[in-house]
């Protein structure tokens, strides 16, 4: 796989800067260029953090320096500060009047977006780079690569969403089954509680009846008949005794007077 590398404009910017110098600002521009050259040397030695400081220092001298701004983006990119690099390349691409510089800035802007997995933004940046320089095969390759990564990302998102939807459906089904089981269990419990309540009420009623029976004992029909028969028999015996006594009369002792 071809390695995606940012395009460097170190020498070209230095040459460009020299042609833009005017007699009044020669000394000032030379000092600015010296700072940029120091930054370029640090960059080549892979001391990207120190190079970043030099480029920022040069921008304080001349905020419109395309060379310092572009190379600052490169230094930030190498430190994986892709968001900051994006800002720098974007600013250079929009403010430069040179199509070649714009093309290279858009190319590196696409690389920065690519590193942040912002593939749609990366594709747009590469397309803008090709508008400025249609012959740039590196940009054309990176554009194709970004498109393939976008398709891959979209497929991964689709698979992820499908997986999430399936999981949600499964979870919903499991929850529904759980709810149905809970409902059945609750109905069973309610029925059991209702039966126990009825049993308790019946038991309580029986206990109350027993207590009441103990306070006011009731005689069964058979016992009542036996008691009535006994009373009748007792009354009959008494009546017979009285009748017999009346039949015998009362014996009176008569005194003799002789």
pLDDT in tens, 79-132: 999 999 999 999 999 999 999 999 999 999 999 999 999 999 999 999 999 999
- Give residue 209's pLDDT band: very low, low, confident or very high (50, 70, 90): confident
Domain boundaries, the chain: 1-79
Q: Is residue 34 scored above 70 in pLDDT? A: yes
Q: Is residue 19 scored above 70 in pLDDT? A: no
Q: Is residue 146 scored above 90 in pLDDT? A: yes
- Give residue 51's pLDDT band: very low, low, confident or very high (50, 70, 90): very high
* Residues in Cβ contact with 234 at an 8 Å cutoff, skipping those fewer than 6 apart: none
Nearest Cα to 55, choosing from 66, 202, 143?
66
C-alpha–C-alpha distance, residues 134 and 71, integer Å: 23
> What pLDDT is stored for residue 247 in this prediction?
66
> What pLDDT is stored for residue 218 in this prediction?
59
Q: What is the model's pTM? A: 0.58
> What pLDDT is stored for residue 219 in this prediction?
61
State the CB neighbour count (10 A cutoff) for residue 89.
29
Q: Is residue 9 scored above 80 in pLDDT? A: no
Nearest Cα to 85, choosing from 57, 116, 54?
116
């Amino acid at each position: 796989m071809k390695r995606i590398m940012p395009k460097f404009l170190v020498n070209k910017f230095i040459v460009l800067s020299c042609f833009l110098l005017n007699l009044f600002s020669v000394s000032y521009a030379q000092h600015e260029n010296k700072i940029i050259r120091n930054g370029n040397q640090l960059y080549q030695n892979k001391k990207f953090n120190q190079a970043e400081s030099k480029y920022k220092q040069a921008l304080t001298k001349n905020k419109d320096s395309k060379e310092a701004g572009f190379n600052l983006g490169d230094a930030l990119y190498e430190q994986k500060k892709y968001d900051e690099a994006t800002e720098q390349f974007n600013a250079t691409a929009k403010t430069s009047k040179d199509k070649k510089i714009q093309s290279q800035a858009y190319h590196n802007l696409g690389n920065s977006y690519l590193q942040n997995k912002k593939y749609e933004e990366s594709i747009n940046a590469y397309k803008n780079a090709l508008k400025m320089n249609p012959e740039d095969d590196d940009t054309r390759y990176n554009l194709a690569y970004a498109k393939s990564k976008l398709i891959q990302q979209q497929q991964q998102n689709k698979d992820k969403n499908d997986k999430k939807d399936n999981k949600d459906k499964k979870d919903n089904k499991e929850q529904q089954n759980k709810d149905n089981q809970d409902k059945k269990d609750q109905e069973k419990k309610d029925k059991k509680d209702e039966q126990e309540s009825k049993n308790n009420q019946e038991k309580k009623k029986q206990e109350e009846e027993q207590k009441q029976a103990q306070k006011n004992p009731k005689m069964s029909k058979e016992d009542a008949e036996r008691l009535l028969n006994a009373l009748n028999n007792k009354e009959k015996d008494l009546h017979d005794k009285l009748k017999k006594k009346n039949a015998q009369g009362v014996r009176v002792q008569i005194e003799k007077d002789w």
